[in-house]
Amino acid sequence: MAQKKMILDLDTGIDDALALAYAVGDPNVDLIGIISSYGNTLIETAAQNSLNLLHLLGANNVPVFIGESHSSTTDHFDVMPISQLIHGKNGIGEVVLETAPRHVETQSGVDFLIAAAHQYADDLIFIPTGPLTNLATAIKKDPAVATLIGNTTLMGGALTVPGNVTPFTEANIHQDPEDADYAFTRQKNLTMVGLDVTLRTLLTKKETAAWRALNTTAATKFAELMDFYIDAYANLGIDKKGAALHDPLAVAVGIDASYVTTLPLAMHVTYDQKSGDYGRTIGDKDKLLVPTTTQVAVLVDTDRFVSDFQTMMLSVLNN
C-alpha cells in the first residue's frame, strides 16, 4: 500500500465521480475513505453515488461516511436548479448504476476525518471538492485537525477570474461561506484549486469516445455521465469547447503539486450577506507580510494534466 493516505470529501456529482476514479487509480495514494457532502445533490444521494461508483470500479473496500447535511448557518439544504441541469437530478447525469453491496458507515464523516488526522498526520491528503462544512466542523470539534493533516487541497474559490454563482463567488464556497472562511483562516498546508485553473482543463467527446472503445461496463457508464456533463456545458453556454475537470485537478494537485503554479497568500472568505462580494475568496490585506502555508493555484500545465488524466482514466476504466 502507498504511504500517502487520501480522503475525498465529495458532493458526488459528475466531476466528483471523475475525481473518485482518479484517486482509485493512482498508485501513489491509498484511498482510505470518502466523506459525503451536500452541493451537487443531497448528502444521502451523494453517498450512494460514491458507493455505487466504487462498486463499478471494483473498489468496494473503500468506506463511505456521511458528513454534515447543510451549512452551519442553515437548517436544511436544497439543490440549486442549475446543479440539476449540470449534473442531472441523480447527480450523475441520469446514468443508472448497479447498487453497491456495501452501505454507508455508522461513524460520522467528521469523526472519521478527526481520527484519520491523528492516525496519519503528515501522510494524510484531504481533498474536499464541495463546501468546506465538514472540515470546519472537524476543526471546531478538534482544533488539532488544522495542524495535523499534511496536505489539504480543495476545489473551490476564484481569485483571478469571476465566480460561477455570482461575479465573485464560486459554487462550493457559496454553499457555506462562513465555514469556508473558518477553514481557510485556520487550516495549515492548504492549497486552493479554484476556477482560476480548473476552467483551463477541458475534456471533450474525443476523450470519452476513447473510453467507450474500451468496451467495459465502467468505461461505458463513465462516458455516458461525462457526455451528459459536456452537453450541459454546451447547452447552458458555460463552455462549448468542453467540460472542465474541476475536481479531478484537485486530486491530481494533492498528489503532485507540480501540475500548478501557486501564489502564497493568506486567504479569507467574505460572508457578510450585506456586502457586495458575499462568498469571495481573497487575500487578507492585513496578513500580506505574515508567513503562510496557504497556496492558491493561479496557473496549470493544461496539456500535461489533461493528457495524464486521460491516461489514468483509460487504465482505471479498462478493468
Task: Note the pLDDT of residue 272.
Answer: 86
Residue 287 reports pLDDT greater than 90: yes
Over range 260-283, report the average pLDDT: 93
Task: Note the pLDDT of residue 158.
Answer: 98
Residues shown for the chain: 319
Q: Report the CATH number that the domain containing residue 66 is assigned in CATH.
A: 3.90.245.10
Over range 81-97, report the average pLDDT: 95
Over range 204-224, report the average pLDDT: 98
- Pairing assessment for the beta strands 281-283 and 267-269 based on DSSP bridges: antiparallel
Over range 169-176, report the average pLDDT: 95
Residue 267 reports pLDDT greater than 90: yes
Residue 319 reports pLDDT greater than 90: no
Residue 1 reports pLDDT greater than 90: no
- Pairing assessment for the beta strands 295-300 and 190-193 based on DSSP bridges: parallel
Provide the mean pLDDT of the chain: 96
Over range 213-222, report the average pLDDT: 98
Over range 159-166, report the average pLDDT: 95
Burial grade of 299 (CB within 10 A; 0-12, 13-18, 19 or more): middle
Encode 17-67 in three state secondary structure.
HHHHHHHHHCCCEEEEEEEECCCCCCHHHHHHHHHHHHHHCCCCCCCEEEC
Over range 100-107, report the average pLDDT: 98
Q: How many structural domains compose the chain?
A: 1
Task: Note the pLDDT of residue 15.
Answer: 97
Residue 172 reports pLDDT greater than 90: yes
Task: Note the pLDDT of residue 40.
Answer: 96
Write out the residue range of the structural domain in which residue 272 sits.
Answer: 4-316
Task: Note the pLDDT of residue 276.
Answer: 81
Measure the CA–CA gap between 229 and 76, rounded to whole angstroms: 27
